[in-house]
């Protein structure tokens, strides 16, 4: 059984298309505002659930309309939400997203209730029946570290998406089975240049030297680079028409988690994840763009 626990963020995404990103102090005309469920934790939960996994999510939302809508949306996507707390002392997390005509995005995040996800929200019973834990950095780092250690004690695989980029203690690097940054995040995490593939590989190896086991760097249109002590392998991306890149990374990570638990080799799991990421950029919005298992199958067999 593909059972996944996600501990992370839930946001309401306020999305507007614009002809370009505004310069400082500039006001430009955009299209109609769209309100979409988001947050890296929620996105990755839905990504894995749509691919057939049984997913439980832990997080916090405000006791407001946005929070109730986010929980309802997860339930509609077959994500178990009984461990999500509605916190009446704060607002639900919100992301303001501008999308340009090329599908690139610029995001400002207001964490809200996500900043209040604390270690005591996660107990030993939270991991019952789960085989893999997905973590990101849109909740406090102390909670991430606590969750990773508890998961390893319970025998789970741990996948860490270090986004937004945040200093990773060596202890957390050693605890996680897979570290999943994009190239920009890798540069911020390591302080190394990442302007070409050789530089990305060198930067990833600095994390391996600190104790990381597997680094998988998403490279957008170039694909994904696997770096570990045994091998380095570039898995090419699939060419598609880009509409919106907002949830491409989350689709990739959900796909990777499902691929690993389905028993695929790491290279095959990353290739499966690349299909998920490619399909996600062909549609507008975060969660609405996440592919189903049938979508992936049809794409592979096209």
SS (H, E, C) 131-150: CEEEEECCCCHHHHHHHHHH
d(CA 172, CA 146): 9
Q: Give the residue among 44, 13, 288 at the shortest CA–CA distance from 163.
A: 44
Active site residue 250: yes
Contacts 24+ apart (CB under 8 A), 127-130: 127/5, 127/151, 127/154, 127/156, 129/1, 129/3, 130/3, 130/4, 130/5, 130/56, 130/154, 130/156
215 forms beta bridges with: 179, 227
Q: Which residue in the list 13, 72, 250, 262 is annotated as catalytic?
A: 250
Residues involved in catalysis: 250
């Amino acid at each position: 059984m593909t059972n996944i626990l996600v501990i992370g963020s839930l946001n309401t995404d306020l999305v507007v298309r614009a002809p370009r990103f505004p310069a400082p102090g500039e006001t430009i005309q955009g299209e109609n505002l769209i309100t979409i469920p988001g947050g890296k934790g929620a996105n990755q939960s839905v990504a894995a659930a749509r691919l057939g996994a049984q997913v439980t999510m832990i997080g916090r939302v405000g006791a407001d309309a946005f929070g109730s809508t986010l929980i309802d949306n997860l339930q509609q996507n077959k994500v178990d939400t009984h461990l999500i707390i509605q916190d009446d002392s704060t607002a639900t997390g919100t992301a303001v997203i501008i999308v340009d005509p090329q599908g690139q995005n610029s995001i400002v995040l207001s964490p809200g209730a996500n900043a209040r996800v604390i270690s005591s929200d996660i107990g030993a019973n939270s991991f019952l029946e789960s085989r893999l834990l997905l973590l990101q950095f849109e909740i406090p780092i102390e909670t991430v570290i606590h969750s990773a250690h508890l998961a390893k004690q319970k025998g789970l695989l741990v996948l860490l998406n270090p986004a937004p980029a945040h200093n990773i203690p060596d202890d957390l690097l050693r605890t996680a089975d897979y570290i999943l940054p994009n190239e920009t995040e890798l540069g911020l995490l390591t302080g190394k240049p990442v302007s070409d593939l050789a530089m990305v590989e060198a930067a990833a190896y600095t994390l391996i030297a600190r104790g990381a086991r597997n680094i998988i760097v998403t490279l957008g249109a170039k694909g994904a680079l696997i770096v570990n002590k045994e091998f380095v392998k570039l898995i090419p991306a699939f060419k598609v028409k880009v509409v919106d890149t907002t949830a491409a990374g989350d689709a990739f990570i959900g796909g990777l988690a499902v691929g690993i638990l389905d028993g695929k080799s790491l290279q095959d799991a990353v290739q499966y994840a690349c299909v998920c990421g490619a399909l996600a950029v062909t549609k507008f919005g975060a969660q609405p763009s996440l592919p189903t298992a049938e979508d992936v199958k049809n794409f592979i067999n096209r």
